[in-house]
């Protein structure tokens, strides 16, 4: 049985927590919130990070099976089934925040390795989600009424119709729901932002 020096453990814990907080703030507030301005997800992701760090620090300092660890994440997955749908980018940042907590909290890895991996995660997220790296379309959810049923089967006509109604270049669209009773169509529309000089 290995005896852990409490003072060394506390110093290492504080350093790991500092690395985690710096990495999480850079990811969630420095990148995600600055680009998307979603206060709710930024708050939830940062709180999940802190909570996951606390739980995983305790679990990594005692004997804990891998199956129990996967069970913990399965419980977290249940929350997503009960919550509102979030976008792929939001899921990525949310998982990144939890991933940083896992990276920083697991004892047995050197602080240098932890700081290096956390830096790699932050830099990779900054590059991949940078607006100049991948110029993607903006999206909007729409509900249209009094739409001709035959236009839904003609992709180009529907795209032109949406472009005319919205006054933007619609790149593509996704039909979410067709309600024949109320004559409504719910769409996810992806359109190109106007270039600003």
Nearest by Cα to 17 from 146, 115, 121, 125: 115
What's the mean pLDDT in 116-136? 80
pLDDT at residue 16 is higher than 90: yes
pTM above 0.85, yes or no: no
- In the predicted structure, residue 119 carries a pLDDT above the cut 90: yes
CA dihedral 38, 44, 46, 51 (to 10 degrees): 180
Is pLDDT above 60 for 97?
yes
40-86 pLDDT, tens digit each: 888 888 988 898 888 778 777 666 556 656 666 665 665 554 556 66
The pLDDT of residue 1 is 43
| Residue in 136, 137, 116, 118 with CA at minimum distance from that of residue 128 | 136
Interval 127-140: pLDDT, tens: 888 777 655 567 77
Find the largest Cα–Cα distance for the chain.
75
């Amino acid at each position: 049985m290995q005896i852990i020096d409490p003072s060394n453990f506390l110093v290492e814990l504080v350093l790991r927590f500092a690395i985690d907080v710096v990495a999480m703030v850079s990811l969630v507030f420095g990148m995600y919130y600055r680009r998307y301005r979603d206060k709710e997800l930024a708050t939830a992701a940062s709180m999940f990070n802190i909570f996951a760090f606390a739980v995983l620090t305790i679990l990594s300092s005692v004997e804990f099976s891998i199956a129990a660890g996967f069970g913990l994440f399965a419980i977290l997955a249940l929350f997503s089934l009960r919550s509102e749908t979030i976008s792929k980018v939001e899921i990525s940042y949310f998982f990144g925040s939890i991933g940083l907590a896992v990276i920083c909290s697991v004892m047995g890895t050197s602080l240098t390795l932890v700081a290096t991996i956390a830096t790699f995660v932050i830099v990779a997220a900054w590059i991949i989600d940078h607006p100049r790296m991948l110029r993607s379309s903006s999206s909007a959810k729409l509900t249209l009424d009094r739409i001709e049923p035959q236009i839904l089967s003609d992709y180009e006509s529907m795209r032109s119709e949406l472009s005319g109604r919205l006054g933007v270049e619609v790149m593509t669209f996704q039909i979410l729901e067709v309600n024949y009773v109320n004559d409504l169509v719910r769409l996810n529309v992806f359109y190109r932002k106007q270039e600003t000089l």
